[in-house]
Structure 1
Amino acid sequence: MKFFIDTANLDQIREANDLGVLDGVTTNPSLMAKEGIKGVENQRAHYLKICEIVDGDVSAEVISTDYEGMIKEGEELAALNPHIVVKVPCIEAGIKAIKYFTDKGIRTNCTLVFSRGQALLAAKAGATYVSPFVGRLDDISSDGIELVAKIVEMYTYYGYETEVLAASIRSTQHIIQCIEAGADVATCPLAAIKGLLKHPLTDSGLATFLADYKKVNG
């Protein structure tokens, strides 16, 4: 499974990249706002900074909700850097735009997916990635991981090449569950990725090894 980091924070992106396990980055307007990045030009310059750090896909989201606006924004974003994947919401105009981008050779990430039906339409339109939102489904007492598993099963059965990018990951446990569900990618906060390192037996084992080393070597 590939790891993307879900942030616009350059320090966190560098830290995840230096860890040696980072495959890409996802961003959205909310994450940009969190970093205080305002204005289209500043945001696009920020995407370029991310692309300089990461040797992998960088999802950049369109703001428009109409077809013509999505096409204009998406083509401009894709032209910024070969790493850019155009992130498009799963609405009617978005599915139509994904088909257009697919025909033009522009890669896409269909975001805000909450059902198998939406995921099916995105795959039929040729989306590179589809992003089911695990945490947001859990928030309304639905099962986000089950949706990921069902989409994986559907794509495998019908032979769709669209990759399942599990989004809205809230915890290390979510990552483990996404592995079990067969997700191609999980996009996560840095803390959730680093949480995979933690295990009490690793800590106690290391402490024992170091204590034994000191006994022998002083």
Structure 2
Amino acid sequence: MQFFIDTANLADIKEAQDLGVLDGVTTNPSLMAKEGISGDENVRNHYKAICAIVEGDVSAEVISTTYTEMIKEGEELVVLDDKIVVKVPMTKDGVKAIKYFSQKGIKTNCTLVFSGGQALLAAKAGATYVSPFIGRLDDISVDGLALIEEIREIYDNYGFATKILAASIRHSAHLLGCAKIGADVMTGPLSVIMSLVNHPLTDSGLVQFLADHERVAKQIK
């Protein structure tokens, strides 16, 4: 399973990269705004800064909603860096744009996916990634992990190369559930990635090991 971090915060991206487990980054206009990044030039410079930190794919979302404008914006984004993946919404024009990009050899991430049917369309159009939003489904009392399972079954049935990028990951249970089902990628905040590090028995065990080492060292002296 690949680990992507869902943020525009450069410090968080660097920390995840330094941990040695980061495979890529996803962002969106809301995350950019959260970091105070606005204006086309500033946003694109920020994408360049992200690409300078990471080694893997960086999803850059278009803000256009029409086919023609999505194509124009996506082609402007991909020239920023070879790591850029054009992030396109699951709409009629978005599906058309994904087909166009796939024929041009441009990587895409179909975002805001909430059903197996939408995921099937994205794969048929040639999306590199499809992003089902688990947390947002859970928010309306729908089982987000069940959607991941459904998409996994559909893709395996027909051998689609599109990767399932589980998005809107809120906690470690989401992440581990996706790993069990077979999602190809998970994207979430740094806090979710770091939550996998800690366990109370690890902490208490380390304290005991260090105490035993100090006790034996004193006896030797």
Question: Would the TM-score normalized by the shorter structure come out above 0.5?
Answer: yes
Q: Does 1:23 align with 2:27?
A: no
**Which residue type is aligned with residue 79 of structure 1?**
V
User: How far apart, CA to CA, are the structure 1 residues paired with 2:129 and 2:215?
Assistant: 54
Which residue number in structure 2 is paired with residue 143 of structure 1?
143
Counterpart residue number, 1:156: 156
1:121 to partner: Cα distance: 0.2
Who is 2:193 aligned against? Answer: 193
CA–CA separation in structure 2 for the residues paired with 1:179 and 1:150: 14
Q: Percent same amino acid at aligned positions? A: 68
Flag structure 2 segments of 5+ consecutive residues without an equivalent: none
Q: Distance in 2 between matches of 1:165 and 1:149?
A: 12
Q: Is the 8 A contact 1:86 1:109 kept in 2?
A: yes
**The structure with more radius of gyration:** 2
Unaligned 5+ runs, structure 1: none
- Partner-residue secondary structure (3-state), 2:161: coil
Taking structure 2 as the reference length, the TM-score comes to: 0.98
Deviation per CA, 1:12-49: give whole Å up to 9, x if none. Answer: 00000000000000000000000000101100000000
2:61 and 2:41 map into 1 onto residues whose CA distance is 14
Deviation at 1:79, TM superposition (A): 1.1
Superposition RMSD in Å: 0.5
Q: Which residue of 1 aligns with 2:86?
A: 86
CA distance in 1 between partners of 2:75 and 2:111 (Å): 17
Deviations 1:32-89 (A, max 9, x none): 0000001011000000000000000000000000000000000000111000000000
Q: TM-score normalized by structure 1? A: 0.99
CA deviations 1:153-198 (Å, max 9, x no partner) are 1101110000000000001111111101110000010010000011
1:124-168 CA distance string (max 9 Å, x none): 000000000000000000011110111011101110000000000
Number of aligned residues: 218
Aligned to 2:14: 14
The separation in 1 between residues aligned to 2:93 and 2:86, in whole angstroms, is 14
* Alpha-carbon distance in structure 2 between the residues aligned to 1:90 and 1:78: 19
Describe the SS at the equivalent of 1:100.
Answer: helix
Q: Does 1:217 align with 2:217?
A: yes
Which amino acid letter does the alignment assign opposite residue 205 of structure 2?
G
The residue that corresponds to 2:166 in the other structure is 166
The residue identity in structure 2 corresponding to 1:99 is: K
